[in-house]
Amino acid sequence: MPDAPSPFAADPFARFREWMAEAEASEPVDANAMTVATATPDGRPSARAILLKGVDARGFVFYTNKQSRKSADLAANQHVALLFHWKSLARQIRIEGVVEPVTDAEADAYYASRPRISRLGAWASDQSRPLDARLTLEQRLAEYEAKYPGEDIPRPPHWSGYRVLPDSFEFWQNMPFRLHDRTVYTRSADGSWAVGKLFP
């Protein structure tokens, strides 16, 4: 059955948090995994699965190398789509919007929370660019381990994050006989959300 109406039905962020909490209780690995789809200015799409690292009333935050393919796409075309799929719950959420950069303070705070090797990896990896051999990456990691032997590892200038500012949500719930339940939220000009349904 579709999820019962809640007092947060008019707020897609509240509904997202409800569904995410249920996913965290049921998904065995990375309930916060999401597919991020970007496109070049001429419309060539690209998608990859990454981890959601923050959500608030403004939007959804993820972090990456600013020299990666996704960042190159977003520099030229700020439109983005997110997809959360929770197989254990037979649910998915589609989100569309535009991105803005997170602040330096936000990026610094999240970077400092990462495991040491992950912080060093942000220095060692030329993300999305050709790699001749795995050994090259391991050697570069060793070089940065020697350069930063302690916990004081500055955030690389090419590493930061984006916040997706949504203008639409779709909450999809699997139903018997493929008669699925689809609830859509569309942002109005005044910032409020219009709520509706779609045929499955």
The total number of structural domains that make up the chain: 1
178 is catalytic: yes
The answer to whether position 188 is within a domain reads: yes
> What's the predicted TM-score (pTM) here?
0.91
Name the nearest CA neighbour of 95 among 37, 39, 44, 43: 37
Query: How confident is the model at residue 127, as a pLDDT?
Result: 87
Q: Does residue 168 lie in a domain region?
A: yes
Q: In this structure, is residue 122 part of a structural domain? A: no
pLDDT at 8: 55
Instruction: Report the CATH number that the domain containing residue 96 is assigned in CATH.
Output: 2.30.110.10
pLDDT score at 10: 86
Its domain, for residue 169, covers 12-115+157-198
Q: What is the pLDDT of residues 95-114, one digit of tens each?
A: 999 999 999 999 999 999 99
> Which candidate in 48, 178, 182, 187 is catalytic?
178
Does any domain span residue 127?
A: no
- CA gap 182, 172 in Å, rounded: 5
- Residues with pLDDT less than 50, the chain: 1, 7
pLDDT (0 to 100) of residue 200: 96
At 193, which helix (H) or strand (E)?
strand 193-198
Is residue 16 in some structural domain? yes
pLDDT of residue 115: 96
In DSSP terms, 39 is beta-bridged to 45
